[in-house]
Amino acid sequence: MSKRPIISVVVCTHNRAPSLCQALDSLAGQTLDLTMYEVVVVNNCSTDETPAAVRAYQADGGPCVRLVDEPVLGLGHARNRGWQAAQGNYVAFMDDDARADPEWLQRALDLFEKSRPAPIAVGGQIRPWYVSPKPVWYKDEYEVRTWGQEARALSPGESFYGSNMMFAKPMLEQVGGFDVAVGMRGERVSMGEETVLFNNIWAKVGDQAILIYDPQLIVYHAVSRRKMTVRYHLSRWFVAGQVASRLDAPASFHERLSRLRTGATAIRHLMRSALEQRDLFVDRRSWMVERLGPVALESGRLLAGMGLHVSVKRPELTTELQRNDAPGRRWSFR
């Protein structure tokens, strides 16, 4: 009888077989003993070569890789399907367009089993992995997700990032997993599922919750040519505003009206400040990302408050990855 894994890594995917292969390759190259973890790939309505790509890894003698299907489109549905199918005591989440540092799982297991008091969740930073040449104006900081360079416990209200977060499975069971009403749905860009999950954790467990951040827990997230544009970043800011409005919807008409007035005022102030700082930037594109981003955020919040929700399509990265590679090929990140 095979040994049960200690950690299950859930990778949810939708029509991204080439990038999924690179994610699986990074998980196959972990320093943690192969018998101590499994990879659960959740196929969320893919119509590409995803099943064939997973079968190639299942026959390759690496870690246990299981494929489960989630027929309802949406990242929340897929993540819930993943952790419910997980056999490990701990459940890690990583995106299908990311790759993990070789010591990712070993460090996470050490944090869970050696920290006292024991944490209910651990997480780390996300750094860029450029799959296309980076423009000279583009800054790494646009892609880095971090709580700093010092390990610490998160404070109430803080949360980990979706492609680098791990939980004791009973914690996910206690809070009921992810809210399926928010987050990515197929090709549509959205967010917020992690925020809602961690809000529920803080509400259930309170200040006694131990969530440990370690900057050495590193996941690299793919940055394609289409992501390194002003349009993409402003659209992300805009979507963040729309989601924030939906998650914090006012209860009364008067509060809603007050929020709309406040939002309109904020947009005017932010726009005026952005225009005043234009000459401080060498490249106008950096200025637009950094100073017009908050304007887009408040604009998204304002429009959502008025009942207007705009769908934004996620940028594809298949083209960049297929230039030199194909599904089923193994990559090395050592």
Residue-level pLDDT at 69: 96
Regions of the chain where pLDDT drops below 50: 1, 186, 323-334
Write down how long the chain is. Answer: 334
Please tell me whether residue 91 adopts helix, strand or coil conformation. strand
48-105 residue pLDDT tens: 999 999 999 888 788 999 999 999 999 999 999 999 999 999 999 999 999 999 999 9
Residues 199 and 249 in one domain: no
291-324 residue pLDDT tens: 999 999 999 999 988 887 777 776 665 555 654 4
Amino acid in position 229: T
Residues 250 and 127 in one domain: no
Question: In the structure encoding, which two tokens stand for residue 214, read together?
Answer: 């370690």
pTM for the whole structure:
0.88
Residue-level pLDDT at 1: 40
Residue-level pLDDT at 131: 93
Residues 144 and 36 in one domain: yes
Count of domains forming the chain: 2
Examine the fold and report which residue of 224, 248, 273 is the final residue of a domain before the chain moves on: 224
83, 10 Cβ separation under 8 angstroms: yes
Torsional class of 200: left (φ above 0), alpha (ψ -120 to 50), beta (otherwise): alpha
Residues 211 and 75 in one domain: yes
